[in-house]
Amino acid sequence: MTSEFLSWFTAQHGPRCKNFCADLDQALADQVLAADLARAELEGRKLWDEKKQSALYAWCARDGEQK
């Protein structure tokens, strides 16, 4: 049963978003958290790879000077 207020509000602002498969707000919030954690993990991996590449350049330059 829809209240008069809800009918009016929906007419003004449209229905509540439900574009994702998650029916529950908590399930959607869990997906957002998982995405944030994955993004942080990926950023950490990219930083490690960049540091490794930089250190490899320095390592090779060091070897070049000793020869």
pLDDT single digits (tens) 2-46: 899 999 999 999 988 877 666 788 888 999 999 999 999 999 999
Q: Which residues contact 28 (CB under 8 A, 6 or more apart)?
A: 20, 22
Rounded distance between C-alpha atoms, residue 62 and residue 33, angstroms:
43
Tens of pLDDT along 45-66?
Answer: 999 999 999 999 999 998 776 5
- Rg, Å, the chain Cα set: 26
Q: Please count the CA atoms within 13 angstroms of the CA of 5 that sit on its side-chain side.
A: 0
Residue 67, pLDDT score: 45
